[in-house]
Structure 1
Amino acid sequence: MNFSLIFASGGFGLNLNLFETNIINLSVVIFGLYKFLPNFLGGILKRRREAILVDLTDAEERLANSSRALQEAQKELAAAEQKAQQIRSDCKLRAEAIRLESEKRTVEEMARIKQGAVSDLNAEAVRVSSQLRREAARLAIEKALETLPRKLDEKAKADFVTQSINNMGAS
């Protein structure tokens, strides 16, 4: 049956001529695809699946290694933070000890300076006191010698001078 007239007239129809439609060739190709394609595609898909599984296994191993490394790093970080805190507290204690020692030395130095000043002051006071006593004694002797000649005779003067010399020699 020839439906080519229907196509020519613009209608729709089926062409059932086996040689014109290439149905035999199409059947052979479809059969070949059905027969050989699953093995070919199956092999490719199988290799691809195995490669994906190997990649997944490798990724899981790297993830496990990374997790272990992360845990170790976190432990080390915690230890380092604890060590840093210990160092900070040791530094604070050391600084406080240095400050207290410095204050103690300052107080001791101030006490020493004050003691030295008091000693210098006492020595100066003793020196001035001694000088004032000598000056007072000298002035008293001069005044006595000045007034004595008018009040004493020659014998009393000689006795007084002798007694004064004896007193000076005794002191």
Structure 2
Amino acid sequence: MISPLFFASEGGFGLNLDLFDANIVNLAIVIFGLYKFLPPFVGGILERRRVAILADLKDAEERLLKATEALAHAKKDLAAAHQKAEQIREDCKLRAEAIRLDSEKRTVEEMARVKQGATADLNAEASRASAQLRREAARMAIENALSALPGKLNADAQAQLVSQSIKNLGEA
């Protein structure tokens, strides 16, 4: 059997089997314990967590600021690079145009030189052909004269021809 010492109805300290009375007292004890001991423990954990979150936020803001500055610097560098590329492109166009004009000028000069050379070659060839034709004509005339002269030339005519030739040579 159960000893009467365990029941609170007998007076003194004991076990209260009335659920509603016991729950209220137990609940009050638990709430008081939580109110007294839990805030410092949970507060310390929450404070450390708050400090860590604030540090992470500050670090994130610093990284955002640095990233923003780096982005602005990169955009400025990109704009400068685009400008430099455009300048190089323009310089290349001007240089290509100058090279093209110079090439055209040299081509025209070379064509003029080739034309002059061809003209000089043509004139030289014409002079050579003309001289050869004159020599050939003179040779043929001499041959004809030599073949025709022996029969037509007597001693008096030959003497007169020689004296006339000497006289012509003396005047020249």
What is the match of residue 144 of structure 1?
A: 145
- Specify the SS of the correspondent of 2:35: helix
TM-superposed deviation, 1:151:
4.8
Q: SS of 2:76's equivalent?
A: helix
The number of residue pairs the alignment matches comes to: 157
Query: Match for residue 65 of structure 2?
Result: 64
Are residues 69 and 138 of structure 1, via their aligned partners in 2, closer, same or farther at CA, if it must alter by over 3 Å? same
TM-superposed deviation, 1:131: 1.7
Partner of 1:10: none
The residue that corresponds to 1:133 in the other structure is: 134
Q: RMSD across aligned C-alpha pairs, in angstroms?
A: 3.0
Q: Which amino acid aligns with 1:24?
A: V
**TM-aligned CA distance change 1:69 to 1:49, over 3 Å:** same
**1:103/1:52 CA distance change after superposition, 3 Å:** same
Report the Cα distance in structure 1 between the residues aligned to 2:90 and 2:79, rounded to whole angstroms. 16
- The ranges of structure 1 where at least 4 consecutive aligned residues each deviate by more than 6 angstroms after the TM superposition are 168-171
Aligned to 2:124: 123
Greater RCO, 1 or 2 (C-alpha within 8 Å, sep 6+): 1
Mark the runs of 5 or more structure 1 residues left unpaired by the alignment.
Answer: 1-14
TM-score by length of 2: 0.73
**TM-score for both structures, normalised by structure 1:** 0.73
Q: What corresponds to 1:92 in structure 2? A: 93
| Distance (Å, rounded) in 2 between the aligned partners of 1:154 and 1:170 | 24
1:165–1:131 distance in 2 versus 1, CA, 3 Å: farther
